[in-house]
Each structure stands twice: as C-alpha cells, then as structure tokens.
Structure 1
Amino acid sequence: MFSDNLKYLREKNNMNQIELATKLGRKSTSSISEWEKGKYQPKAGVLSDIAHIFNVNLDDLMNKDLRNENEVSSPKLDVLSIFNQLNLKRRRAVLKFAVKQLDEQRQENKNVITFPNKHNTTTIDVDGVLSAGVGEYLDDNSEPFSVTVPAPVPDNYDYAFKINGSSMEPYYHDGQVVFIKKVGQYRDGQTVAAIYDGCAYLKRLAVDDDGYATLVSLNPDYPNVRIDDKEGMKLLGVAFS
C-alpha cells in the first residue's frame, strides 16, 4: 500500500525521484526507487517526513489506497504545500500571477459603489443646530425639525442636534447628527454642547489650572472660543455619538 501511495503522490505533485530524495536529505534516488517497488519501507521518522511533504495523514499514507480515494472525491488543495514544492523559476511565475490578480481585485473594489440601505435609516426630530465652526446663533422661535439618520439610534439621549461646520473634524462632520447626554459634572477633554454669548457650539471643553474654560476646535483651521464669563456659558451635555 505504501509503495503505491508514494509513487502516486510523487507523480501527482509533478516531483521526480531526485527532487524527493533532495527534500528528504538523501544523496541518491536508490532508496526512493526501492520504496516504490515495495522492496522495503523507510524508518518511522522518514515516513513522517514523507507524509509532511505531501500533506497527507501518516496513517492514510500507510493504510489507505489514496489513488482510489482521490478518484472518488476532489483533492483538498494546500496552496502553500504545493508552492513549496515548486522550483525557483515556477515560484516566481506563481508570485507574478498572484500579484497581478491582487492588483485587478483592488481595481475592481475601487469601482464598487455602495448605496445606502434605506432599511438601515430612521427619521428623528432634532432640537436644533450646533455650530462646529464660529457659532450658531440661537433663535428663540426655532422649532425642532426632522432628519434621517442611520439606524439604530441611541435610546438614552437627552438632545439631538445637527452639526453645522467642520471645526470638529475628523471626529464630527458637517451635517452629522450628534446625540447629547446631560451629566452632573463636566471634565476637561469632554466634547460638549454649549451655549455662550447667544450662540450654540459643539466643542471640546478645556479647563486650565485657574479654572478658566475654552471651547476648543479640533480642526486647526477654526478658532477656539475663550470663555471670559463662566456664568454666561451654559453646558447642555456631553456628546456620545
């Protein structure tokens, strides 16, 4: 059984006796020839090496007719094992082909346009607009309005605002809806919804050692807002989405 399996696997993998002998660290093919003729079998360690080279189970190598099994079912391909059996010239050819396929795949992916799935959106009412810029003037007569946002939306927010401006990029974008949660205390570094001097902002809160606050723009193209009158600033809550 072993002799037939050895010859079958060697020929199936386009390997001559010299190549197999080299992989097994032998200087001649005489042993390979005698194994395939069934004159004798190699030692257990060599049998294990042969099973590894051809990526088969050692018990299958010794006790199963691999020729008949592979005629009934398709062989399981081990690309790495096959690649390792190729000579240098053929390995380069395989790599060149694989790189070409990868480049073509990347180009195909660039041409794919993903359209929003209408089933993954929902409509909510927002409380107004926050400026991620130089200030959004608050009009006491402004009313909530409806916008379409990705679903699902958080269920524990206190306010929802639409962002106007790009001062908080890359984390928050113009036109995005941000959800605000009321908190009891505010900390340095939190992104907050704030009202100051008649304008509403979405900014990063910075508090210095003296207790003075600044509403910080993450985008360096936009100015920060220095709070000269802490009593005149109202914090609505912390952004969490």
Structure 2
Amino acid sequence: MSLGQRIKQAREQHGYQQKDLAKKVGVKSAGVISNWERDLNKPDADKIVQLCEVLEISASDLLNCHIQEEFVCSTREKDMIKQFRSLDDIAQEAILSLLSIEAKRHKEVNLPTWTLPFFSARPSAGIGNYMMDNEEEQMEIIDTPQARKADYILQVDGNSMEPKFHSGQYVLVKKQETIQTNEIGIFVIDGDVWIKQFQIDHLHSLNPKYADIPFEEGQEIYCMGKVIGTAERV
C-alpha cells in the first residue's frame, strides 16, 4: 500500500471528505489532498506531522512503505471462497481443474473489443471524491451491447453500492442530465463525485452500512449520467 493509499484510508476511517482534511492541515484545496492520495505529489515533513495529528496515526505507520498490499475480494468472491472451503478434497480438485480449463479458454478466445473514453475521477461509493484533474484516456474493453450505448467509463471507489457495484470495478456511463427515481447515476455535489441511486430528496447507498446523502439547500448538484452496466478491461 502506497503513502497516498494510507492517507486516504486514514481519512475515510475518520469520515472526512478531502475538503475537510485540506482545511484541517492547512492546504489551499481538496485538490492537494487528491494529489497526495493518488501519489501525484507527496506532503512535506511539516504536513506529514499535521496529517499524523489530525488522522491520529503514527508517523511510522503512515510512512511505512513495506506493508504488503492487501488482496481485496468482493462480497461475491468471498461467498465463493466459503463455498469452496466447505467442499471435500475431490470436489475441490474438480473445481480447480475446471477453473484451469476455463482460464485457458478465456485467454485463447479472440473476444471483440470496444474503446471508450476513461476519466480519472473515480466516483465514490464511500466517503466522497473531489472532482478535479479529470484526465481522459482511451480504454479498450470487451465489446457488449451495453458498451456501445455508453459514452464513457469511470472506476468505482468504495463499497457503498455493494452488492451491485464493487470498489475498483469499471462502470459504463451514458451522458444525461437527469435520471429516473431508483436509477443509478454519477453525481457531482459541491465538487465531490458519487455513484448512487437517485431518489427525490437524496442519493441512496445500496449497502446498508453507508448513510444516504440528503439534498440540502444551496448545494451545487448535477448529474453526469446514468450507469448502464459494467465494463471488463482488456
């Protein structure tokens, strides 16, 4: 796990948005925090001290670059592992044999591909991500009917939309300024990007562990588009 990832993890554990942390450590904008968390820049020694104080983390924990990166499983993958462990040796060997065959077949199949714009801003399914430096690149994905209807791709950050969408997953977005109630879209609220289910007076999180986001007077809110599916990168 990188320094930026550890800063982000500690911030989210305290429930701070990037703009909150920026104010607490005395930097000019949430964009500075975003750059730190994406490892585009690094905080200087003075800011490291302030980060440790605000986030209640030791300098050794924050700066330790030798922590092995955790392999993150989705809820579905965890369920599959539990089921696999419940099987006897013969059944497990049969599953492993089938997995090996299918993995080889998947690599050999010449799947058609489709290319769409991919934006670096990651819609939050958690605490909220600041909308800045929204860099565009072209991403090659597996061709599907949904992919051909989409206008661009974003990557989910957080777990608040599980079990439907998982952190790190790529989603297909169709540009539109409004969506219907109960549809899932990409929203910007006061500069933070979210993937949420739209309701009349709030944005809803599918994961019950996360609170909904009520609409408040004076907020700048707009819809970037409707999420129409997921994408598999080639």
TM-score by length of 2: 0.49
Work out which of the two has the higher radius of gyration on C-alpha atoms and give 1 or 2: 1
Larger RCO, structure (CA 8 Å, separation 6 or more): 2
